[in-house]
Structure formats: C-alpha cells, structure tokens
Amino acid sequence: MATAAKEGGLGGAESSPSTPLATPVATPVSTRSVKWEKDVEDAAGALDRPLLHKRCTNTTSQMAVVGANTCPIESLDYEVVENEVYNQDWRSRGKLQIFQYQALKWALALFVGLVVALVGFFNNIAVENIAGFKLLLTSDLMLKDRYMMAFLVYIGCNTTLAAAAAALCAYVAPAAAGSGIPEVKAYLNGIDAHSILAPSTLLVKIFGSVLGVSAGFVLGKEGPMVHTGACVASFLGQGGSRKYGLTWNWIRYFKNDLDRRDLITCGAAAGVAAAFRAPVGGVLFALEEVTSWWRSALLWRTFSTTAVVAMVLRGLISYCRGGHCGLFGKGGLIMFDLSSRQATYTATDLAAVMLLGILGGLLGALFNYFVDRILRVYSLLNEKGARSKIILTVTISVITSCCTFGLPWLTSCTPCPPELAGKCPTIGRSGNFKNFQCPAGHYNALASLFFNTNDDAIRNLFSAGTDREFGVATLLTFFVTVYALGILTYGVAVPSGLFIPVILAGASFGRLTGSLVGSISGLDTGLFALLGAASFLGGTMRMTVSVCVILLELTNDLHLLPLIMLVLLIAKTVADCFNKGVYEQMVRMKGLPYLEVHAEPCMRSLVAGDVVSGPLITLSSVERVGTVVETLRHTGHNGFPVIEEPPFAAAPELCGLVLRSHLLVLLQGRIFTRGRAKASAAEVFRTLAPFDFAKAGSGKGLKVEDLGLSEEEMDMYVDLHPITNRSPYTVVENMSLAKAAVLFRGLALRHMCVVPMTQGRPPVVGILTRHDFMPQYIRGLYPNTIPR
C-alpha cells in the first residue's frame, strides 16, 4: 500500500504536494560548518530573482514564463527506463528493425535540414518582397514630393504588419513570442513547457517573424529560426501531431525524449545554418550555446543536417538569380562579401582592435542590463492580457517608424562621389546611396541605413572602400537609435531575434570607431564594422567559437580570423565581469529551472538529505488498483518509488522506480488479479505492446479520468514489476549536494532516489529532482545560510 515519508521536491509537474519548505530557523543536517548571514538574498544579485514570484511552498506545478505567458513546466525523461517492457522490446527486434531504426535516424536528420532550409528561404523571400513593396511604395510617393502621404503610408504599413504579428502571438501561440532560444536551450537541458514546440507555435513563428521583420522593427529573423528548426524537428520526430490528426506509425521508434532531444539539436543547428548560410557555425552554435549533452555521433549527424541546408540554399539562390524571386531577386540570406583591402596589420591596428573589444564588452554588458530591466517592465504590461500586448507592440512600431522616417530629415544631403555617378543615388531599391528627399546627384547617408531592410543596412555598413560614405554624426545617430530601439523592441509580443540588432549596433559603432581612429590605423572602416559587430556579439551573447565561425562564413574572408578571435575574447572577458550572457539571463528571469554545468556554491555546505522534503509517496510492487488510481488522481508526481514488501521479500527493499505515464498505460490494459500475486510478463505482453508505453506527442495524452475503472476493478491488484525500472540511480543521503547535482546533470536524470545510510529505516528517504537543485529552492529552505 502507499506510504508516506520524506520526499524530494520534483521539478516541474512532479513536485511534492503543497507543504512548507522550511521555517526561517531550519538548520541543515549536514555536519559542515556554515555561517549565518541576514542579507543573503541581497547578496545574490538581481539575476537570482526571476520574473515569476517564487512561492515558499513546494507545489505540484512549477511555473515559468514561456514567450510572453506563464505556463506550467515539467522535466523530460532522458534516462532509459530499463524495465521488462524495454528489455522485451529490444530482445524482439531483429537486425532489420535495428537497421531501420538507425536508417530512420539519419533520414529524419537529413529531412529536417531540407525542411528548415525551405522555411529559411521562404522567410527571406517573404521579407524582401513585403518590405520591398513597402519601401517602393513610400519612395514613389516621395519622388512626387508627397512627403506626408509617404509618411502615413510608411507608418500605416508598419503598424498593420506589427499588429498582425502581435495578434498571432497573443491569441494563437503566445510561446512563439521572442527569439525562442532560451526555451530551446531549456528544453535541451531537460525542461518541457506547454506549446514550446507545438505545430501552432511553428506556424506563428514563421509568419509572425516575417511580419515583424517586414514591419521595420529593429529585430531579426535569425534567432526565431533556431526555434523554428527545433519545432520542425520535434514535429517530425514525434510522428506528427495527434491533436491535428497528423501522425505516422512508421516513425514510432522516436516517441521518446532521448531521440527527440538529438533531433531537436539537429533542428536548432539547421536553423542557424539557414539563417546565416553558415553550416559549420550552426553546428558550433548548437554545441556552444543550446545543447547540454553532446557526443561524437550527434556531432556527425548534426553536421550532415547543416550540410543539407547549405546545399539546398545554394540551389535556391541560383534559382533566384534568374529573377524569379520577386522585387529584389537575389534571395537575401545575408551574405556579406567583405574584402579587406589589407591582410596585414600593425601594432597600432591591434591596439585599436583591442580598444574596440573593450568598448564592445562594456556596451554589450550594458545592453544586457537594459534588456533585463525592460523585460521586467513589459512582463507587467503583458499580464494584462492580449490586448495590452498588441497595444505595446503597435506603440513600439510607431516609435520605430517615426525614428526611421524622421531622423534622415535631420541630415543634410551629400553629393555623390564622381566615380559612382551610375550607382548614386539609389532610387526605389536597396543600395548604399539612398536618394530619400535629396535632389539629383545627392544622397542621404542616414536614409541609406534607416530606409532599408536590416540585412541591406548591414551590407552597407560592412562595405569596404567606402570610408567617406557615412560621416561621424550619421554613424553616431544610427548607433544610438539602433541601440535604444533594440532594447525597447526585444520583449514585445512578436517573434524577434537579437542577432541582427546586436550586429547593427556593433557594426555602426565599429565603423564609427574606425572613422575616429582612421588617422592612426590603416584598417578599412568596413573591417572595423565587422569587428565591432563581433565585439557586440561577444559582449551580449558571450559566445566565441560559434560567432567567430559564423562571421567568417558570412564574410568569406579567412584572413580576418585572428582579429575576430582577439576582439571576441576581449569583449567576452570584459562583459563577464558585469553580468551573464543575454540568453542565460533570460532563462533565469523566465523562471526556467536550468541546471548549470557547475553546482552552486551554496550546495557545498549541504548534503542530499538536507533538501528532500515530504511526504514521499511509494507504491508496493503488487499494489491495489484503487490505491494506484487515488495516488495518481491526488498527486502530480511523475515518478514513484516501488517497494518490495513481504511476502515477495524478507524485508521492505527498494524494487525500483515507476513512471506515471507507464502506470496509466498498465491500468488501461486492465491486467489485474483478485489477490496479491505476480502476473507473468508474457501475460502483460499479450495485452500491451512496447510501443503502447511510448511518450505521447503534442496531442492529448492519457489521463486518470480516461481510465473508467469499475468499483470491482478498483478492489483488484496490479503487478508493477513489468514496468518498474529495476536499476534507478541512487545516492546515499550524506552525499554532498554539489556532487549529487553534477551527477544528476551529467547523467541527464529526472529522478534520483536518496537511500538511507543505516539499516532499519525505510528503504528510500526521498527523491531528488531538478527542482531540489535550484538556488531559489535551497534559499527557501535555508534563507540565512551561505557557504563559508
């Protein structure tokens, strides 16, 4: 029968029932020395306070901010459940089925690359055509001197597109708001939340990103492409969606969290490859930034996925060069052919680059600080409902439109260079020299940056041999505006990425720096723009290897490698002195229980027994059906320790761990006995197939209410041996909590049983889950303790 004891709080939906965690005078049972500090919360810093208010009780539903909404979250089962069902499944597979499983792994990975490449191509072509039509319409009106009408059309198009994107996110898929990289990063760490990778999120991510970028926001579609790639991989890996009637039985092998995690890693890498045309950079981005577990086999499969993306995009771009892709007809897909005019540099040049790295690190850390503040303000507005999200988005769109259309009027017109008489000014299309309101033979430098798509603005800033095109005042105005708008825009209810705003701000700042130090440095201002973008990326996102390779693939110039490496290392080092990377910062603010590689310092003074809390719910190896049903109905736990009791054992002992989902499938099979007796495994396999225990997709899963058991069946018994994991991971109660945390993360666990040190006690003391390793939970238990 079910017994009560002390249980560890279960992360996500498997937390303990609402019981107080601790009183203010709670003392750890470990014998290590600790000191008491009254203001430990203040010392923790602002980043330890998520957007969600942490409760002082260990509840059954952990909450986090996903997109712009709050929703319950739970952990993922990456551990292989080695029970009799699993063993029977693998024993029954022949060589042909094993080959089919391995072949399908590769086929799915390559197919994910194909689909993500097509989605990325569609995004770029859609943005170029929608934004291009808007810019052409506005330019035609300005050529007729109808400036007020041009402004009204420009701001009207932008606000309409912004409102449509916000409405999709607010009403259809709130999880699609933002870049989605923090959510993908959390998922690959073992955290699942409602609709993170749902088909509705995928569709809104694609169309919302197109609408948001076309609306002229200072945001990019590159960050959302990572989330899009993960959604595509999840949709294909789970065999479609039961909710929408789209399922494929032949793909049933992948209905588990472990294989789905690997496929989603491939999808995230494919998203970066499709966004930047950087296949190697995509693999390194997945390795460095999003995934928590990596191995050589996954590296090889991920690289194959991004290779497919690169080949498909190259073929599609060749097709676009024939003029089949709409207004601009070049396929977009930001490729900056930066040709540095000199491959050598002096000590003075290196000093200028180091200064750029230091300033980029400082400004990147400041950017992260302001993003943190603005997200907290926006969270208060988003709590008021969908209408508030749309109003906020439209307001930011109006501000952005006024800046991008109004600021170029404050700049005087510049005569076109004589050598560019055929290309200057640019009228009615993308280019370096925008005519805007200037007379013939003149161009507006600020309009060349503002009155363009973001990709074209970056091309203009990166262009080499154009030192005199943009003046200091123009670059300073553009940098301050983009820097501020990038902070204000991130957090509105549209799919938005940070890559492009950071690159824009960094490139303008780098080119500004190059203009100021031009008298002492021989480097091209376009090269300074690239290095400035690298310094800002290093200062905000704190990535080094992946950003370095992505920039090299974007610019197609290997000679820049030493300078990019230098500026990235300096920017990251400087920025790390002030705060964390923007994605780590957002993961913590959203309340996602992310497990870091290294244990928190406060865990060194505690042991595993200090954080487990009760009551612990256990089940007997042969349990009454009614007891199992009531346990499932009144608790939200995902795992239950199974105790072997007399007459099946001489003394109570830990038999293993059983999952909630497996219990529901077993009860639905109605393999019951009238007395407490073991059922043969053959009888279970005659009624249930191994694939019946596979994890449900994004549709509706099995619930207790769906069982429909009769009163007679409730009084019968069910044998749990066939579905019990006989070899759960266990730790002794006096093990260091820091060591347990490293073990828990390294093995990608969801549950870890805590067993007693001495005999004569219950065979299991409690269960550790990711919630028990969260610093907020530990401080809730012992608010006045910090390690010496």
- How do residues 650-669 score in pLDDT, each as one tens digit? 889 999 999 999 999 999 98
pLDDT in tens, 117-146: 999 999 988 988 898 889 889 988 888 888
Highest mean pLDDT among 63-72, 359-368, 409-418: 359-368
Q: Could you tell me if 108 and 237 are in contact, meaning their C-beta atoms sit under 8 angstroms apart?
A: yes
The whole-number pLDDT of residue 44 equals: 40
Residue 35 token pair: 């000191």
612/1 Cα distance (integer angstroms): 22
The whole-number pLDDT of residue 329 equals: 47
Q: 408 pLDDT exceeds 50?
A: yes
* Closest CA relative to residue 67, chosen from 200, 188, 222: 200
What is the rounded average pLDDT of the residues 541-551?
93
pLDDT in tens, 604-633: 889 999 998 778 899 999 999 999 999 999
The whole-number pLDDT of residue 319 equals: 81
549/547 Cα distance (integer angstroms): 6
Q: Could you tell me if 67 and 176 are in contact, meaning their C-beta atoms sit under 8 angstroms apart?
A: yes
The whole-number pLDDT of residue 728 equals: 93
Helices (H), 436-471: 445-450, 454-462
Q: Could you tell me if 419 and 433 are in contact, meaning their C-beta atoms sit under 8 angstroms apart?
A: no
Q: Could you tell me if 204 and 173 are in contact, meaning their C-beta atoms sit under 8 angstroms apart?
A: yes
Q: 337 pLDDT exceeds 70?
A: no
pLDDT in tens, 16-69: 333 333 333 344 544 333 333 333 344 344 444 555 544 444 443 466 777 666
The whole-number pLDDT of residue 431 equals: 60
What is the rounded average pLDDT of the residues 537-566?
90
pLDDT in tens, 398-407: 999 999 999 9
pLDDT in tens, 497-513: 899 999 999 999 999 99
Q: What is the largest CA-CA distance in the chain?
A: 98
Q: Could you tell me if 539 and 369 are in contact, meaning their C-beta atoms sit under 8 angstroms apart?
A: no
Phi-psi region of 656 (alpha: psi -120 to 50; beta: other; left: phi over 0): left
What is the rounded average pLDDT of the residues 292-304?
92
Share of the chain above pLDDT 90, in %: 47
The whole-number pLDDT of residue 30 equals: 46
Q: 332 pLDDT exceeds 60?
A: no
pLDDT in tens, 257-267: 888 999 999 99
What is the rounded average pLDDT of the residues 309-335?
72
Q: Could you tell me if 255 and 694 are in contact, meaning their C-beta atoms sit under 8 angstroms apart?
A: yes
Q: Could you tell me if 535 and 357 are in contact, meaning their C-beta atoms sit under 8 angstroms apart?
A: yes
What is the rounded average pLDDT of the residues 430-447?
78
Q: 603 pLDDT exceeds 90?
A: no
Neighbours of 34 (CB within 10 A): 18
Higher pLDDT, 77 or 36: 77
* Closest CA relative to residue 662, chosen from 628, 635, 630, 697: 628
What is the rounded average pLDDT of the residues 560-585?
94
161/150 Cα distance (integer angstroms): 17
Residue ranges of the domains in the chain?
121-321, 621-724
The whole-number pLDDT of residue 10 equals: 38
Least confident of 213-217, 484-488, 685-689, 712-716: 685-689
Give rounded-to-5 percent helix, strand, coil for the chain. Answer: 55, 10, 35
The answer as to CATH 1.10.3720.10 being correct for domain 121-321 is no
Q: How far is CA 17 from the centre of its chain?
A: 29
575/560 Cα distance (integer angstroms): 22
Q: 237 pLDDT exceeds 90?
A: no
Residue whose entry in the numeric block shows the structure tokens 């909450």: 63
Q: 209 pLDDT exceeds 80?
A: yes
Least confident of 90-104, 188-202, 330-344, 530-544: 330-344
Q: Report residue 157: phi and psi, to 5°.
A: -65, -45
Give the pTM. 0.88
The whole-number pLDDT of residue 16 equals: 37
Reduce the DSSP state of residue 485 to 3 states and report it: helix
Q: 418 pLDDT exceeds 80?
A: no
